Amino acid sequence: MKCIALIGIIFTQLLLMQTATADETKIVTEIPTLERDFVNAVSGFDKSKIIAQFGEPAKSDDVKIKGTGKVVASIWQYHYINTAPDGAYYETTELDFIDDKVVQVVFINNDGAEGSDSGQKFDVPNKNPEL
């Protein structure tokens, strides 16, 4: 009898795990375009999920620790993927990553260029020489 109960519990757990995986796939394939819904949907996504949905970014910059070259943050920009509440598209959506996860989303009504220093990469001083 204990064996049957244990098999039932294992079967239920496997079924729940499959449902969770299907839900995660559904989220990746159905990311909304409206700004607030988009932010809620992609917060915490890793880079691979973003690339699966939108492809490579139009522009990307990495923030590295000076001396080691270790990437600690990334800034990716996409064009015309999000809408404001009035239905108008933002020209640029910026996704900021720390440790490969989306931590901030910025909607910009221009192409995201920053003038003559556009595309410049910045190094962060290495405060931990062990890294």
Flag residues of the chain having pLDDT under 50.
1-3, 5-28, 116-128, 131
Q: Which domain holds residue 79?
A: 32-115
pLDDT given for residue 88 in this prediction: 93
Residues 19 and 59 occupy one common structural domain:
no
pLDDT given for residue 130 in this prediction: 52
pLDDT given for residue 50 in this prediction: 95
pLDDT given for residue 112 in this prediction: 76
Contacts of 129 (CB under 8 A, 6+ apart): none
Q: How many CB atoms lie within 10 A of CB 52?
A: 13
pLDDT given for residue 119 in this prediction: 43
pLDDT given for residue 12 in this prediction: 42
Angle between helix 47-54 and helix 2-29 axes, rounded to 10 deg: 50
Residues 67 and 98 occupy one common structural domain:
yes
pLDDT given for residue 111 in this prediction: 83
Q: In 3D, which of 43, 120, 113, 103 has the Cα closest to residue 77?
A: 113
Measured between alpha carbons, how far is 5 from 1 in angstroms, rounded to an integer? 6
Give me the number of domains the chain comprises: 2
* Model pLDDT for residues 59-89, shown as the tens digit of each residue: 999 999 999 999 999 999 999 999 999 999 9
Q: Identify the bridge partners of residue 30 per DSSP, sorted by sequence position.
A: none
Any domain includes 1 = yes
pLDDT given for residue 9 in this prediction: 46
Read off the CATH number of the domain in which 91 is found.
3.30.1450
Residues 59 and 1 occupy one common structural domain:
no
Q: In 3D, which of 74, 54, 55, 56 has the Cα closest to residue 64?
A: 74
pLDDT given for residue 79 in this prediction: 96
Residues 22 and 72 occupy one common structural domain:
no
